[in-house]
Structures are given as C-alpha cells and as structure tokens.
C-alpha cells in the first residue's frame, strides 16, 4: 500500500499553549491521600508471617535505579513507601528494626516523597567509581559489604535469607552469597506478589484516582485533536491535564497515529490529517505509586470499511469480557469471551493463547520472524531526514494472545487474562481489559477499560470516557 499525502503547512508555535483554552473535564477529580502508616504496618506483619512459614530468618528487598529517577521494581515502595533504590533488611523477628541501605546512586532525589515508613535505620552507602566520583571501587561491592556486616552484627551471618528483587538484584545476591558462604538464599518475590493480588479498600481508591486522571487526560486530548495539530501537542495536552491534578509521571503512555491504526510509540512530529487513526494507549498513569491503564481510538474524518469493522470488533471484545466480571468468574472465560467477536468474523480460529497468532510472535517453526523490508512513506518523519524501511509489525493479529492483565504497581509480576489462566476473580482485583488487533498497513485498534472487581460485581474505572471510537470531523 502506497501513501501519498501533501506536506502540511507549518504550524505556529504560539498556538501550542492555547490549545487547552476552555478545557474542563466533565467530572471532578477526587484526590486521595497517601496510604497511612497502618497500611504498611499490616503489610509488614503479613510479610513477616510468610517469612516464618517459609523458614526465613530475614527478608532482603532490593530495587535499583534505572535512570530518569525510576526504579527497577516497586517492592520497596510497596513495603515501606520508599520511592528510590536500596536494599531493605527485614528481620523475621518483629522486635528487630528494619534497616535500609540506600542513597547509593546519583539518580537519588531527596524526600519528599516521604521517608521510608517504619524504617528505623537508614545507611548512606555512597556511589563509587573512578570516572564520576574519583573513588576506587564498585558501588555493588560496597553495598554488599555494608549489608553483610549488618547481618553479621545481627547474628545472621549463617541465616536463611528470603530475596525479593529482579534481574538487577543478581550482583547483590551473588556478592552476598560469596561474602556470607554459610547463609542460604531463596527467592521470595511471591510473598509480595500474593499480597498484591487483591487490593485493599485504600489501594482501590488510589487505582480509581489514577483511572480518573487517565480519563481527564483523555478528555484533554480529545479537546485538542483536529487536523493540523501534532502528536507532540496531543501528548502534551494529556500530560498537562493529569500531571496538574497530581499524576506522578508523564511517560507512562504511548501514542500512535497513522492511516492504518495502532502502531504505538512516542510522539515524533506526526501532523494529524484526514483519514488518520489515533491510538492513545495509557499504559500507566501513576498516582501515589499506583497506576491505572486504559486505551482509546480516535478517527479523524472518514476511514475504511475494514477499519470500521476492526474498531467494532475490538469494542465488542471488551464488552463481552466485561460482562463476565464478578467475584467467582473464571479468568479464562473472560479471555475466551473477548475473542468471540474475532472468531465470529473469521479473524481468528480459536481463543487458545498457545496457538493464537499475534503481532510479535516468532515464525511458525519457533525461529525468528523476519520483519518485511519495504519503504513505508511517512512525510513527517522524512521531513526530519529519516525513513521507515520496514513494515511493523511483522504479522497480523492481536498485539498479545491475551485480553489484559493486572494493574496496580509498576514492575511487579502481573497475572494475565488469557485462555490458560483458570484462576477465579476475587473482590479487590484490578486489571485492564483491552482488545487489540493490527493488520500492517490495513487496519488496527487498541481499546480497553480498567476494572475493579467489587463485592457484588464490577466497577468500570474508565467509565468517564466512552469505550466507542471518538470521532473528529475533517
């Protein structure tokens, strides 16, 4: 398929700040305070109980800095509301204090957001290295030594240690194993992941607030979308609206604009034209450490019949799954229902996630799939001296062989809503239901709502913006 469209006229920078003039969301945001200390005390009690059952003498929790003031996981924030990196030592005996070894990276920022809750001793390890600090040594080695000496002072040199972390934690755990050869280590991530399955009432309120911020951002995006605006301006409108009301981050979402449907990414200077399909995939608007997710499609002017069919199919897919959300429902039933409209229209043969084709799947024999080489015209990208020379994605299908996943805290192992998950829904679970489809250079959609399982049914946390496609005249 060849795309030829005239280059747009240059836009006036003076209009950018004026695009949101007159904008007001059609509902009021309901701010929620941070979680109280009692909530963290209850978590600590339950973590220590699980440590006792597992035979651990102490739990070690690690998160690393990964740049841009972000951490590699949310375990420290979940346990003690510490938003930065560090190693937390939790003795299983409840008469011993928590100890945090932190502030060892140049990406650390000072509180607020607050001190770590319930932590008595905080140790500043410092950063090490020749080039930046003119200090010989490695930060990892210094942290390992500090933690090891602390464990020795506590009589835990030969302890059974439960480890909570991620791939960035490996050098710390390996260093401790060498430094304390009599200790025993076991992964303990499941302790926190089990606690994260169901949300407390206060946590539910935070996810609900995050979903409200996403809806307000979406309404702001709708307010500015028209032919001639750029993807940067749409992204900025969404960002301003949610950040101004308390959102924690401005990089938890993607935008995709082209004549065929959802190819999600970051803004690059695309100018909206008649016939464009716009996807706002709000993969994480974060509020006090908790996030919500939603996805909406915007059609600019007239689109093709095939595109209309795909948009309708994905909308029906979300509604079919949402109709089953209630305590006691089987998760696989939601997934199977969501793909019913795909099967009825002949887009898929089965809802089985094992056999389902999807956009990023390997080749049929399990080997790598070659991305087709083809020039894909994009006047706005080419005006910047670059070209698209591959067709993305390499194959047609849903983005993933599921209809959603859990949401709540970033970088914690989620559960998926797909055909092989036969778990039962419980009150307090929060997740996204998103139906997705993409045929390269033909049609695409990504449409989804965030849901909370209530005591009697379900609450659509994304209800402030309709699921249906938003239409913009052109």
Q: Which residues, at least 6 apart from 201, have a Cβ–Cβ distance to it below 8 Å?
A: none
Q: Which of 80, 86, 89 shows the shortest CA–CA distance to 64? A: 86
Mean pLDDT of 5-12: 47
Mean pLDDT of 239-256: 93
Checking if the pLDDT of 397 tops 80, the result is yes
Q: Can you give the pLDDT at residue 11?
A: 53
Mean pLDDT of 52-59: 98
With a pLDDT cut of 90, the percent of the chain lying above it is: 85
> What global pTM score does this model have?
0.93
Checking if the pLDDT of 416 tops 80, the result is yes
Checking if the pLDDT of 359 tops 70, the result is yes
Q: Can you give the pLDDT at residue 78?
A: 97
Q: Can you give the pLDDT at residue 127?
A: 84
Mean pLDDT of 44-64: 97
Backbone angles phi, psi at 96, to 5 degrees: -105, 140
Q: Can you give the pLDDT at residue 8?
A: 45
Q: Please report the domains of the chain, with CATH numbers, ordered by start residue.
A: 37-195 (3.40.350.10), 197-472 (3.90.230.10)
Give the strands of the sheet with 98-102, arranged side by side: 119-124, 98-102, 86-91, 58-63, 160-164, 184-187
CA dihedral 214, 215, 216, 218 (to 10 degrees): 90
Checking if the pLDDT of 10 tops 50, the result is no
Measured CA distances, 430 to 155, 200, 328, 452, 462 (Å): 41, 11, 14, 5, 12
Q: What is the residue-averaged pLDDT of the chain?
A: 93
Range ranked top by mean pLDDT from 91-105, 239-253, 457-471: 457-471
């Amino acid at each position: 398929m060849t795309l030829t469209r005239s280059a747009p006229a240059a836009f006036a920078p003076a209009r950018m700040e004026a695009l949101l003039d007159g904008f007001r969301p059609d509902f009021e945001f309901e701010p929620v305070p941070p979680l109280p200390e009692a909530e963290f005390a209850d978590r600590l009690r339950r973590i220590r109980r699980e440590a006792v059952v597992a035979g651990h003498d102490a739990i070690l929790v690690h998160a690393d800095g990964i740049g841009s003031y972000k951490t590699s996981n949310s375990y420290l924030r979940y346990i003690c509301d510490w938003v930065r990196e560090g190693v937390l030592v939790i003795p299983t005996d409840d008469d011993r204090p928590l100890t945090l070894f932190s502030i060892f990276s140049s990406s650390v920022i000072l509180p607020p957001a607050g001190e770590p809750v319930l932590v008595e001793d905080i140790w500043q390890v410092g950063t090490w290295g020749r080039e930046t600090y003119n200090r010989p040594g490695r930060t990892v080695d210094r942290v390992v030594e500090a933690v090891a000496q602390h464990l020795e002072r506590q009589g835990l040199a030969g302890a059974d240690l439960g480890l909570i972390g991620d791939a960035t934690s490996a050098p710390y755990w390996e260093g401790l194993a060498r430094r304390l050869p009599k200790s025993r280590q076991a992964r303990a991530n499941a302790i926190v992941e089990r606690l994260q399955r169901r949300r407390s009432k206060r946590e539910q309120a935070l996810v609900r607030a995050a979903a409200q911020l996403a809806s307000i951002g979406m309404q702001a995006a709708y307010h500015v979308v028209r032919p001639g605006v750029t993807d940067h301006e749409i992204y900025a409108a969404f960002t301003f609206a949610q950040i101004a009301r308390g959102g924690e981050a401005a990089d938890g979402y993607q935008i995709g604009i082209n004549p065929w449907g959802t190819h999600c990414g970051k803004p690059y200077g695309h100018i909206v034209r008649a016939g464009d399909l716009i996807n706002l995939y709000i993969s994480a608007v974060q509020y006090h450490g908790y996030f919500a997710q939603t996805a909406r499609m915007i059609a600019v002017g007239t689109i093709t019949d095939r595109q209309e069919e795909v948009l309708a199919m994905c909308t029906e897919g979300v509604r079919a799954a949402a109709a089953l959300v209630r305590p006691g429902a089987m998760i696989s039933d939601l997934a199977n229902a969501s793909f019913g409209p795909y099967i009825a229209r002949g887009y898929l043969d089965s809802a089985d996630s094992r056999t389902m084709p999807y956009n990023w799947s390997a080749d049929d024999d399990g080997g790598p799939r070659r991305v087709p080489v083809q020039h894909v015209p994009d006047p706005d990208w080419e005006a910047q001296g670059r070209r698209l020379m591959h067709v993305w994605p390499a194959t047609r299908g849903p983005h993933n062989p599921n209809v959603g996943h859990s949401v709540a805290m970033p970088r914690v192992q989620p559960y998926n809503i797909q055909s092989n998950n036969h778990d039962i829904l419980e009150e307090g679970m929060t997740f996204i239901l998103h139906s997705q489809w993409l045929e390269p250079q033909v049609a695409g959609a990504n449409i989804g709502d965030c849901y909370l399982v209530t005591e009697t049914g379900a609450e659509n946390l994304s209800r402030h913006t309709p699921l249906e496609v938003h239409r913009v005249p052109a």
